[in-house]
Amino acid sequence: MREKILTGLEHFCDGTWKKLKGVKLGLLCNQASVNSNLVPSKEILSSLLPAELKALFTPQHGYGAEEQDNMNETPHGVDPSLGIPVHSLYSETREPTKQMLDQIDALIVDLQDVGCRVYTFGATLLNCLKVAAKHYKKLVILDRPNPLGGAIVEGNLLKKELLSFVGPYELPIRHGLTMAEMALMFKDAYGLDCDLEIVPMVGWKRNMLWEDTGLPWIMPSPNMPLPTTAYVYPGQVIWEGTNLSEGRGTCRPFEIFGSPFLEPQAIMKRLPMASIEGCLIMEFRFTPTFNKWCGKRCNGFFLHISNAHEFRPYRTSLLFLKVILEMHKDKFLWKEPPYEYVFDKRPIDLIIGDTRAVQWIEEGAEIKELEDLWKNDLKEYLKFRERFLLY
């Protein structure tokens, strides 16, 4: 029988909440902030601490994932059921302002991350840590599983000169941390003197993927509909920095990708299939209903995960990138800025996190050579992260 896993929210309900009686609270959450019975954390907190919950805060895409694309800002508002302010942290500000924080004594963070450096919830978490330290506010993290597990890390470390809202710290693209572990790492790395409390999960283990948790999947953003989307995302997100569709405007974003100019059969013949494990690749045609190539028939691929424990998303997508660059130099393009509020750097460099990696791929370097180059950095990262691991 599968052991029941309690998220930080459910652990919090076991009694931790009593310590916050009389404390004015804010809650950073969205539609995926629910318990195993799909009851939203905002309803749970307003029931347990009805007089204390003073405001909600939302990350990119808003509370209900109503905003689809990057840099589509979400307005502030009022929660219709609770009658309290909803402060958007993806608006004219990406961090809580002093005026927002004046309403509260402590900010509770209950967000479902997807285990990839590029996903902006990590940057929102860091911004909250920084302002909590600056304005002497308590920060409480209700921890949740990393859908990709916490045992495997992948990719090059982000270079300092490419820090951004899609790269808050020098992490590999698949970082193997939960939100609480990220918070502990950020607090240490940035020397933040803030009152940080962690409410850990119960029963979660580092080798667990989402499918092992038994928890319901509620998409944390509009283009993250399934756990398998999260499994491919640390690699497939690179197409956001190109003129290929990453599958936005289809029902399986990131699992599907392509463009009108791709030649799938020719690409498949040149793809080193022996280097791709845990994944079946299907030639696929699709017509996006919005975003890149909207209304145009695209030729591309569907990635079907056959063994998520073996699958390496970053390697797989870089192998595709190398072949596509070689075959379609005349039509393939890197996307121009801006990207997530950065106006002077290419999106692909911000996503990959190292301009040299892009240059080397363009020059014909083998992906295995690149993996060998960043192997020592990953070893150092694994050693560094040990003291922040909770599970």
Look at the block and give the residue holding tokens 């990590």.
Answer: 122
Answer yes or no: do 12 and 134 share one domain. yes
Tell me the DSSP string of 158-183. PPGGG-BTTBSSS-EEE----HHHHH
Cβ within 8 Å of residue 329, ≥6 positions away: none
Answer yes or no: do 86 and 136 share one domain. yes
Q: What is the pLDDT of residue 72?
A: 86
> How distant is the alpha carbon of residue 44 from its chain centre?
25
Strands of the sheet containing 25-28, edge to edge, are 77-78, 85-88, 53-58, 25-28, 106-109, 138-142, 195-199
> Residue 232 is part of a domain; what is its CATH number?
3.90.1150.140
In a domain, residue 247? The reply is: yes
Label the pairing between strands 106-109 and 53-58.
Answer: unpaired
Q: What is the pLDDT of residue 70?
A: 67
Which amino acid belongs to residue 320? F
Neighbours of 371 (CB within 10 A): 18
Judge whether 20 and 49 are in contact, CB under 8 Å: yes
In a domain, residue 80? The reply is: yes
Q: What is the pLDDT of residue 69?
A: 67
346-347-352 Cα angle (round to 5): 105
In a domain, residue 386? The reply is: no
Give residue 155's domain range: 8-223
- Residue 198: Cβ-neighbour burial (10 angstroms; 0-12, 13-18, 19+): middle
In a domain, residue 98? The reply is: yes
Answer yes or no: do 238 and 338 share one domain. yes
CA distance 104 to 82: 16
How many domains would you assign to the chain?
2
Nearest CA to 87 out of 132, 28, 33 is that of 28
Nearest CA to 120 out of 187, 181, 165, 75 is that of 165
In a domain, residue 187? The reply is: yes
Judge whether 24 and 54 are in contact, CB under 8 Å: yes
Answer yes or no: do 181 and 53 share one domain. yes
Neighbours of 102 (CB within 10 A): 10
Answer yes or no: do 213 and 315 share one domain. no
Backbone phi and psi for residue 326, each to the nearest 5 degrees, phi listed first: -70, -35
In a domain, residue 29? The reply is: yes
In a domain, residue 211? The reply is: yes
> Residue 19 is part of a domain; what is its CATH number?
3.40.50.12170
CA distance 97 to 103: 11
Nearest CA to 301 out of 271, 266, 258 is that of 258
Nearest CA to 259 out of 314, 299, 203 is that of 299
pTM above 0.95, yes or no: yes
Label the pairing between strands 53-58 and 25-28.
Answer: parallel
- Average pLDDT for consecutive 10-residue bins of the chain (391 residues)? 85 95 98 98 97 97 77 92 97 97 98 98 98 98 98 98 98 98 98 98 97 97 97 98 98 98 98 97 98 98 98 98 97 97 97 96 96 97 98 98
> How distant is the alpha carbon of residue 220 from its chain centre?
9
- Token representation of residue 186: 């950020």
Answer yes or no: do 283 and 200 share one domain. no
Answer yes or no: do 40 and 163 share one domain. yes
Which of 170, 191, 223 is at the close of a domain?
223
Q: What is the pLDDT of residue 180?
A: 98
First CA to last CA distance, the chain:
21
Label the pairing between strands 138-142 and 195-199.
Answer: parallel
CA distance 247 to 180: 30
In a domain, residue 99? The reply is: yes
Answer yes or no: do 237 and 207 share one domain. no
* Residues comprising the chain, all counted: 391
Judge whether 281 and 371 are in contact, CB under 8 Å: no
Q: What is the pLDDT of residue 2?
A: 61
